[in-house]
Amino acid sequence: MIGVNKDTRSWLEIVERIDLKAGGIGVCIDPKQIAIIMDSDPETLTQSAMSIKSPFQIRKRGVETNLISADNQRARDETLISNIAKVHHWFEQIKSGKTFSQIAAEDQTSKRRIQQMIDLAFLAPDIIRDVTDGNQPLGFTSDWCLRHFIPSSWAEQRALIATL
C-alpha cells in the first residue's frame, strides 16, 4: 500500500470487509485478527461486535466534501448563522428605506447576493433556534439556501427543511 504507514496498515489488516451504500457504511472486522491482538480464542468473540453499521450523509461546502456519520454530534454551521444575522441586518436597513444597491455598496457585496439571501430573514423562529443550536438538517446550508426557494409560510419551511 503506497502512502500508508505501518501503524495504519496494521489497523487495516483487521478489516475484513467494508460495505458502502447510499446513506450507510458497514465495516466488518476479522475475528481472527482481533483474537490475535487480544490474545484470545476467536470463537469467544461476539459476532455482532465484529460489525459496525452507521448511517451517514454527504455534506458539500464549496470544494470540500464531508462524510457525516449520524452518530456524530453535529457542529454549528457558523456560515449559516452568520448569514442569517447578516440578512436580518439587511432587512432592518430595507425597512428604514435603503435600497438593495445602497446596502450592497455599504457591505461590499452584490445587490444580487442580498436578493438571493434575503429570504433567510423570514425563517421561522424554531428553525433559527435549531440552526443556532446546531440541530438543523445537514443539508440545510447557506449554499442550499442560495440555490432553493424558501417559502414564506413557516409550516411550508418546516416541511421543506425536514426533507433535507
Identify which of 98, 158, 152 has the alpha carbon closest to the alpha carbon of residue 131: 158
pLDDT grade for 106, boundaries at 50, 70 and 90: very high
| pLDDT for residue 102 is more than 70 | yes
Helices (H), 72-124: 78-95, 100-107, 111-117
pLDDT tens across 125-139, in order? Answer: 999 999 999 888 878
| pLDDT for residue 85 is more than 80 | yes
Q: Collapsing DSSP states into helix, strand and coil, what is residue 60?
A: strand
Residue ranges per structural domain of the chain:
6-69, 78-162
CA distance 68 to 136: 14
**pTM of this prediction?**
0.59
Our CA angle for 31, 5, 68, nearest 5°, is 70
